[in-house]
Amino acid sequence: MPEWTKDQLKAIDHRNHNILVSAAAGSGKTTILIERILKELKGNGPNGRENIDNLLVATFTEAAAAEMKDRLLSKLKDAVNEENDPELKKHLQKQIFKIPMANISTLHAFCLSVIKKFYYVIDLDPNFRLLSDETEKSILQEQAYDDIRNDFYDYPDGGFLQLTDNFSDDRSDDGLKDVVFKLYDFAITNANTNEWLDSLVKPYQFNDSFTESTFYKNKFLPQIKQQISEMLQSIDKAIDLASMDLGASVFLDQLQEVKQVWSEFEQSLAVNSYDKIREFIGDFKIKSRKAKLSKDEDPDKTIANQVEKLRDNFKSQCKSLYNSYFVKSESEVNEALIEAQTLISELVKVERKFMEHFNELKLNRHVVDFNDLEHLTVAILQGDVDGRKIAQEYYQNKFHELMIDEYQDTNAMQESIVNLLHSDNNYLFMVGDIKQSIYGFRQAKPSLFTEKYERYQNPDNDDELIKLSKNFRSSEEVDNFVNQIFTRIFDKKIGDIDYDAESQLVTGTDFPDNVDKQNELTIFVPESVNDDSNLDDDESITKRQTLINAAAQRIQELIASGFKIYDSKIKDSQKQIRRLKYSDIAIISRTKENNTDIISNFSKVNIPVMVTDAQNYFQTTELQIMMSMLNIVDNPYQDIPLVAVLRSPIIRLNEEQLAQIRLIDKHNSYYTALQKYIVSENKDKELQKQLKAFLAQLETYRDFANKNSIARLIWKIYQETGLLEYVSGMPGGKQRAANLHALYQRADAYEENNFKGLHQFIGFIKHMQDLDKDLSQPNSIEANDDTVRVMTVHASKGLEFPIVIYLDMAKHFNMQDVISQTVFDDNGIGITVKNNETRLQYKTIQRGIISQKKKIATFSEEMRLLYVVLTRAKQKLIMFGYAKSQDDLLKLWRDVPQEGLIDETTRLKANTFQDLVGISTMSGIDQDGDFTKNRVAYNKDCQLRFEILPAEAVNIDTNKKSINARNNESVNNLFKESVNDILDMEYRYQESVNTTAYQSVSEIKGLFADPDDEQMAEDLLEDTSRYNLGSFPKPQFLTKTNKITNAEIGSATHLVLQKIAIDKTPEENNFKELIEQMVNEKLLTPELAEKIDLEGLTKLYQSNLGQIIVNNHENVSREYTCSVLMPAEKLFKKVTKDYSVNDKILVHGIIDGVIELEHGIIIFDYKTDHVTAENKAELISKYSGQVNLYAEAISAIKNKPVVGKYLYFLKINEAIDLQEK
């Protein structure tokens, strides 16, 4: 019998009222749930001996439900064996038999059972299939949207075109589709979908002015008041610090004045007009002031720096407040909101049309998705039959208790179902942890948990809140580390809960002193920045490879050193300290993007890994071969798949044989050439015989495909070609064979889903790849194998490992839903209105308010993701991060107060996990001497070893063999020769493999220059089949300056030229107005705006070229995107001219402008270079290649000649006609 804590016993025994259990990580909530159920089955509940089918237990995942059933079954069997009362023993035996059919399942599985039982309440055809495949669902959604979009285009009413223009860009109308899909995700999780859609336009509606609207009074003003109140809190904190410190006292009078002025302003918000509020905030300034200190007064200036930082935070918040809500005057806001009303009304119309057609497509296929399960269940529970809600009455009487696991991740729709099941006849028992609510992307509402959390602890409330804070999973060092961080960053505003003493983790397990429990945070910083590195890019190959290799290196060190772990599951206490195994280690990442590289890099050093969701299924060799085979069975007149099969292990032709076949007929399909080759005279007889057999086999497959299922066809190919056996003998053969088996299973499932035909199956796979819906590779490793586990944060939830390695400490938070032009939350939609004349965009006030709330919600969830990561570890945490420079890493961490909750502004500036850890723990760091020199420090309070290492220091030992690696067995002499031939084969056309399939025009700007030009040599790297830009600007941390670069000025100038109206010749004041508006819209900074050459822009449109543009403005396309396929040998002059290198390369670029006339095309490109008499010819030569390439591409696209090619140098106001050169 376990030793239960006082709070655990409350959760097990308390009944007859609703209970919310706030269960911290490792507090044993599943064990408690099972014990509670067991006691009720034994008769400890209000209804005597309970039956398992009178309980509803809703879990978050199917795996959790299966685990709970297994553990409950085991407990029941033990209880039966121990029970002496024959009646109770018999009762418990009955419960064992009922376990398989018990309502212990996900809420979706329960909904399915409701629909199957009461389908007739809503006249639903019960013969439906569950659409559980997200790919199939995505394809149906795409089809539904394509259909309604075509309908709208066929019968345009103006509204749809305006909507498309507002939400899409010049290149595609997919922007509106993305908005429709996103809006669907929010609408469908609302029980009253239609009412919710109707409500979207209400915040934008007003009579005379939006300042008279309900939204302005009830939403906008309270939001502004709240933000000002929070701003003043930082001023109060600064005043307190300045009052206690002599050096910082210089700020005191200034801060007190700011507080007085803003406090009075805050009180007068309700009586001031919008324009007066706008004027006050826009005009407010705080003069800069520095602390003057003697050497004896606070020599490190810590307090003064904190005060100055708080003051500067207030200034930045003031600026942000203005930019978010007060860019436009009241009259301009009114005008924009009128247009917004029209847009949203039209959007709701399109959304309803999409939902209606999507439902029609599902109905035609007799399928329902998971959202449908919820909506249909609500409809059934609310449905009347002869004046009675028979389904609702049935379940309310049936279930005596509703147990909801992971309650913090419940959404509004699921809450509606629970409420419909709940009545005076039953009680709610909800278990969860608000600190682990990480499913916002599924519209989970943590507010449902927090609302009950506050209400249930009210002593006047009959309901009960039980807090479980004892962590029986982790070491004290892990718990202290977690507590150190979250006491400093979690509160109700950001995180949804105060991380107070009751919320902190309390260690419930004693780890021995003689095992290493020290947590590690290692940040890698490159000692030198290569020109081809972009360290700001989260997808940086350099960064990703460094972190993955660092993890591999650390695992090698731990295994080789015989690292010891404490294993409490071993009953013999003398053996509980044992050597580390690979399976004791979990590598956790934010997303799946690292998985393929982890598999590859770890295999090189013989570290076994189990990755359940590596998203590269269709990129594997065996799948590409098999898909090529299916393609030619469907249609042999496809050159690439046919040659792929001929070259594959199925037929094994070499390059010379393939060339012989092609030479028979160079102009028609390869299949035609193949047919001609086998009947030609004086050819290789053995080859002809082999090809005849192949064609006969192919015809057999084609005939078989017409009469049998796709799955049977695939299996026939496996059996007759030996492909399955062949890949099993390749490196990673077990996984490759599993991949082929998965294709067979996928085809079988495809046909079960009412899809038929090989051609449609191939199209389905292609469409899935087009939608970026590659499948995960099937797992070929057993769960009990000794392998390192690799998983995402979400997949790790509920699991535990002795050692956790987290790779993505430097990954930036995903704030895309905050900064998007259109933002969503439960309360509505915030849109950006585009001005069709100026093409400038105005982010509505409604968008600003939703975005601000979304920012807090998103940031809160990011913090909770960190909490989940850290609490997976039992003994030790190892974290890896990356930074551009040490200064860049530490700049946010410095000057943070040593204790207490960190101010909101500083917290919100953190955009990585390593920032959150840094600002929380650096103040407790103990170091010898200058940290910037030693690069190693310790926080003894939470046993954190913090180290900064050069990225170049990572060195994995590729020669080191795994501890458990099997010795290679000698190869039988009969096969040694053929094996060596395969291993030693040199691919004659390796350059084709190395040649990129894509090039940007900017990377090959020297393309049409003299072949002997030195410029080409400079642009080439070691890989001769890829051009890269010769130089990149040094990052700011190396240049130590904030000086605006010429490149930034050039980009800003191009942006202005892209947006200026050209229906008439622009004057200088037109440019000034546009630039001022772009500054207000935050498209340009004021400093950058000042650098734009207004005189040069004006003279451009006064020139002959400018007048051509203005006179043909209706035919002008600016920022024109073009692509062209070019022979590889034309681009890469150093490659040999082998047959295979004559493949074509996709070259992509954007030119500043294209004028399409009846007789031809004029193209032009602006340049902002500094031009002198000495470098003019060089610059013309430098850019000619670019323009020539654009001309070739656009001429091919438009099928018209290019009659004019212009370079326009803005610095000298001169157009160069390249057509004449």
Residue 29 annotated in ligand binding = yes
Cα separation, 1078 vs 1071, in Å, equals 10
Residue 304 annotated in ligand binding = no
In this structure, what is the dihedral angle of CA atoms 356, 359, 364, 370, given to the nearest 10 degrees?
180
Cα separation, 6 vs 4, in Å, equals 7
Q: Is 479 exposed, middle or buried (0-12, 13-18, 19+ CB in 10 A)?
A: buried
Tell me which H or E stretch contains 1215: strand 1214-1217
Tell me which H or E stretch contains 560: helix 541-560
Cα separation, 557 vs 551, in Å, equals 10
Q: How far is CA 953 from CA 79, 534, 936, in A?
A: 58, 19, 15
Q: Any long-range contacts for 5-13 (C-beta under 8 Å, 24+ apart)?
A: 5/468, 5/470, 5/508, 7/466, 7/467, 7/468, 7/469, 7/470, 8/32, 8/468, 10/464, 10/466, 11/36, 11/431, 11/466, 11/468, 12/36, 12/39, 13/39, 13/44
Beta strands in 812-923 (DSSP E): 823-825, 828-830, 832-834, 841-843, 873-882
As given in the structure block, the two tokens for residue 386 are: 């002869």
Q: Is 930 exposed, middle or buried (0-12, 13-18, 19+ CB in 10 A)?
A: exposed
Cα separation, 384 vs 391, in Å, equals 9
Residue 950 CB contacts under 8 Å (≥ 6 apart), including other chains = 524, 525, 526, 527
Tell me which H or E stretch contains 150: helix 134-154
Residue 492 annotated in ligand binding = no
Chain position carrying tokens 């057509």: 1219
Residue 58 annotated in ligand binding = no
As given in the structure block, the two tokens for residue 651 are: 């037929």
- Measured in degrees and rounded to the nearest 5, phi and psi for residue 2 equal -65, 155
Q: Cβ–Cβ contacts within 10 Å for residue 73, how many?
A: 15
Cα separation, 414 vs 418, in Å, equals 6
Residue 26 annotated in ligand binding = yes
Chain position carrying tokens 């017409």: 706
By the 8 A CB rule, do 484 and 941 touch? yes
Q: Is 911 exposed, middle or buried (0-12, 13-18, 19+ CB in 10 A)?
A: middle
Residue 28 annotated in ligand binding = yes
With H, G, I as helix, E, B as strand and everything else as coil, classify residue 718.
helix
Cα separation, 982 vs 977, in Å, equals 9
Cα separation, 1003 vs 1032, in Å, equals 12
- Classify residue 388 by its DSSP letter: B
Half-sphere exposure (Cβ direction) of 552: Cα atoms closer than 13 Å: 28
Residue 187 annotated in ligand binding = no
Chain position carrying tokens 């479980």: 468
As given in the structure block, the two tokens for residue 995 are: 């040649």
With H, G, I as helix, E, B as strand and everything else as coil, classify residue 935.
coil
By the 8 A CB rule, do 466 and 14 touch? yes
Angle at 42 between CA 36 and CA 45, to 5 degrees: 60
Q: Which amino acid is at 988?
A: R
DSSP string, 74-108: HHHHHHHHH---HHHHHHHHHHHHHGGGSSEEEHH
Among candidate residues 321, 317, 330, the one with its CA nearest the CA of residue 216: 330
Residue 23 annotated in ligand binding = yes
Q: List binding-site positions for ATP.
A: 23-30
Tell me the binding residues. 23-30
